[in-house]
Structure 1
Amino acid sequence: MNQGLAEDRTGSESGTPKALLAAVIIMGVMIVAGVAVMIGVIAHRVMHPHQGVALEASSTNGFTRLALPLAEGEHITNVTARGDGMMAVTLGRPGSERVLLWNPNAGKVVAELDFGSVAGAP
């Protein structure tokens, strides 16, 4: 005796809509792929550490003198103070430019953006 309490489930074993089941499977695959990529990136960074720009620091007479290593023919073209206390230092030479993000409080270069050489430049 069927009193309208259950739906007729002909052709379906569990009653779960196929779209929902497909979405769950796709999300599961995406989670597994994301975790695999994250593990790969971490392993790559551990095996290939980033060599940052080294500053020479010497402390004399109560202040610290920092020497930024410049390539041959390279010079400072612009220095911009940022609101977070860091400074963007633009270095240039014929055919290439780079920007260093420098933290003066810590006395180190935090990041470097290298624009490489201009097309057709020696």
Structure 2
Amino acid sequence: MEKQGSRALLAAVIGMGVLLFLGSLALVGVLVHRMMHPAPPAAAVKTVAGPVVAGPDMAAQAALVVDEPPGTTVRAVTARADGLLAVALTGGGVADRIIIWDPLARRIAARLVLGQP
């Protein structure tokens, strides 16, 4: 009986050793593959809508006029993933503000006033 128990234990130890070796080999293989084929950073994967090109239908439309006081300057423009532009405005004697502009629909989608001038 003792001989049979030790054989089962020996088979289990050898089996686990083989599994441990194969798992380590797979881990090294994955690491080498990832080092040889790096994925691009997540921020570079996002795409933004391309520039608006004036076509024949846009030439007939009126220009978009933003009602801002004289002296207003654009501090920053940020393209969002959905194709809208977030434009930070300052000056003009009023508080700093951010407008969300939809260039394809040619409209201001939202306006946020940040405080008192």
The TM-score normalised by the length of structure 1 is: 0.41
Greater gyration radius: 2
Higher percent of residues as helix:
2
Higher percent of residues as strand:
1
The TM-score normalised by the length of structure 2 is: 0.43
